[in-house]
Chain A
Amino acid sequence: MEILWILAIPLIGGLLLALFGCQRFAPELNSAMSFGTFLASAFLTVRVITDGPMTALNEQFFVDSFNVFLVALTAFVAFTTSLFSRPYMRIEQHHGKLSINMLRLYHSMYQLFTFTMLLALLTNNLGIMWVAMEAATLTTVLLVSLYRTPASLEAAWKYFILCGVGIAQALFGTILVYFAAEKVLGAGGTALLWTHLDVVKTQLEPTVLSLAFVFLLVGYGTKVGLAPLHNWLPDAHAEGPTPVSAVLSGLLLNVALYAVVRSKVLVDGALGSHLAGNLMMGFGLLSVVMAAFFLSRQKDVKRMFAYSSIEHMGLMTFAFGMGGPVATFAGMLHMTVHSLTKSAIFFAVGHAAQQTGTQLMERIRGLIKTSPTIGWGLAIGTLAILGMPPFGVFASEFMIITTAMHSYPWTTPFLLAALGVAFAAIFGRMQTMVFGETTEQPLPHPPALVPVFVHLGLVLLLGLYIPPYLADWYRQAAALIG
């Protein structure tokens, strides 16, 4: 039942905001809708944790502890982001960057985007999952080009074409999976249902599935932002409005990775080998290393953090690729903390950019002086994302790296070297932005930094203490996807 609510609220919200998007209360309505979604997802989570996995609408929808955790995360971050976007967008409008119609578009698309992500997470049907992923692209592409600047148009075009093409490969992969499943489950609806596929995964035809996985990996991997398919990501993050960057980086990538992980489970089950895992590890490692080296060349702050997202998605992909309880646990923990931290960082960065009127890092100075909350938010967030204890990112990285040392020792030097380079790059720039003298004016509207500190607080908590029920929950999920 909650599933329907979760999906219905944002859908309705999208339509409502398409109608009333011009009203003054649109931002509040947006937040309210997101809050509703969050509540529903909370109820769903509680039920799944108590009653275990379940399906709905003759198996079209399906929740287990893996995707319910992502659902909760998505709904939560979507909610906090909507809170942040309210003053942010007001300030943008105040600066004359946005017209009222653009705001309407933004709000309704925001809700629809949430809807598509939740659909992709909740559906049991791989085909529908594909449709939802494509829809997620479609809903965000106009948001990326919201400012209508040449750069934003270019970014949006690249985003659209690259992700579209990538997704097309994923469709081919899905077809192949269906083709293989049809042999076992017979033609028709059930052959694409994850629950059924999971049962019979060992009987699926290996050669087909290996081919299928290649297509799925390239397809969804493009959306995850794995190197060398990542090229759309920095542009889109840098040029879109900050709330969009936040949800893209914090949520969409997770959802895409979720799709990859689901298919990995099938494929490894069918092949009985570790092929899929190895491929993922390879891509993950490549992404981490390349992103680290890209980082040291950035001038635009949002672009830099986009690359850091690539790095962290690579790390997660690596973790899920390694498999095993600890690594998977770490992967999911990393998903959580990364979404929270990265979105928090984007919130802070957004306000910083508004305050200084630029995203160029050498022009941003002395945030701590002008607006300490933004400055400290950025500083702490950056340190957290760099894997500094006692923040949660360190916890997950610790588990990932130690597992890697344990089972793939040769990878650790690369990982650690990459982390070191990334540290030098990001930290050096953060310092110049946060510290020093400045002559900036404070913002016209008070910035909303409650979300920032809520997120960072959670991350800090997760670094020091992972509540047992959360741990059990993650363990269940890890057991599911092994």
Chain B
Amino acid sequence: MENFYGQLINLFAALLLLIAFGMLSQRRVLSLINLFAMQGLVLSVSTMFVAYTSHQHHLYYSAALTLVLKVLILPWILHRLIRKLNVKWDVETLINIPTTMLVGIALVVFAFNLAAPISLMAGTITKSSLGIAMASVLLSFLMMITRSKAVPQVIGFLAMENGLFFAATSATYGMPMVVELGIALDVLVGMFILGIFFFQIRETFDSLDLKHMEKLKED
């Protein structure tokens, strides 16, 4: 039974990684947000399973927190934003997806190797998924690098947050509650501030394209 749940969680972990790749290659903002929401869902479900198997009750809270924050609130805010800013349909041209993919795979390999020794010493049933967590963090990082518009970059940032959260649960059955709450608060506030930003940027440059923001440099 135990290891069935274990496999289940690993499955979710794999899903998480899959979604991360999906985001890496996704062109359209709207579907990017949906993917992000999906990732949040997967995250909370897997957290729930972990909570159930490891009888760590505070994990239920954090699962719920994730659900509320990352599946409902943030995507909702993002949806509103893109509707308001009416960038709903805008598509950005990614440089050469296959290359990005290859780099991503390389990152995954790197992350797994890095995580392997640590996973061995992890006492949790989710040990193997630490590598996946690290991989998804790096992938979101890569995504932020490749995106040329503001909103997708922010989504990448939030996705990184997801990866971190997953790492926390998988490696250590979650951080102490105070910290979890603090982190959640930060993410929320950060999201609001970003929202304010989008509008400011929009009204200053009347576009969310980051290429307008390359003035400050050494020349």
A interface residues with partner B (beta carbon < 8 Å): 125, 127-128, 130-131, 134-135, 138, 141-142, 145, 148, 150-151, 153-158, 160-161, 164-165, 168, 171-172, 174-176, 178-179, 182-183, 187-189, 191-192, 205, 207-208, 211, 234-235, 238-239, 294, 297
16 contacts between A and B (CB under 8 A): A125-B178, A127-B176, A127-B178, A150-B204, A150-B212, A153-B205, A154-B216, A157-B213, A161-B157, A165-B141, A165-B160, A175-B164, A179-B171, A182-B172, A192-B179, A235-B216
Min CB distance, B13 to chain A, in Å? 16
Inter-chain contacts of B2 with A (CB < 8 A): none
Other A-B pairs, 4, CB within 8 Å; known A127-B183, A130-B179, A164-B190: A128-B179, A150-B212, A183-B123, A294-B218
Q: How large is the interface on B (under 10, 10 to 19, 20 to 34, 35 or more residues)?
A: 35 or more
The complex places the Cα of A165 from the Cα of B157 at a distance, in Å, of: 7
Query: Counting CB contacts under 8 A, is B189 at the interface?
Result: yes
Inter-chain contacts of B160 with A (CB < 8 A): 165, 168
Inter-chain contacts of A130 with B (CB < 8 A): 179, 182-183
Inter-chain contacts of B114 with A (CB < 8 A): 211
Inter-chain contacts of B167 with A (CB < 8 A): 172, 175
Q: Which of A135, A142, A150, A238 has the most CB of B within 10 A?
A: A150
Q: Which residue on chain A has the smallest CB distance to residue B176?
A: A189
10 closest A-B pairs (Cβ-Cβ)? A127-B179, A131-B182, A154-B213, A134-B186, A235-B216, A179-B172, A179-B171, A175-B168, A189-B176, A168-B160
Min CB distance, B196 to chain A, in Å? 7
Find A138's partner among B141, B193, B204 (CB 8 Å cutoff).
B193
Inter-chain contacts of A178 with B (CB < 8 A): 168, 172, 175
Are A154 and B215 neighbours in the complex by a CB distance under 8 Å? yes
Q: Which of B168, B186, B197 has the most CB of A within 10 A?
A: B186
Inter-chain contacts of A141 with B (CB < 8 A): 193
Find A171's partner among B117, B178, B183 (CB 8 Å cutoff).
B183
Are A168 and B164 neighbours in the complex by a CB distance under 8 Å? yes
Query: Counting CB contacts under 8 A, is B1 at the interface?
Result: no
Are A208 and B175 neighbours in the complex by a CB distance under 8 Å? no
Inter-chain contacts of A297 with B (CB < 8 A): 218
Query: Counting CB contacts under 8 A, is B173 at the interface?
Result: yes
Min CB distance, A449 to chain B, in Å? 29
Query: Counting CB contacts under 8 A, is B209 at the interface?
Result: no
The complex places the Cα of A156 from the Cα of B197 at a distance, in Å, of: 9
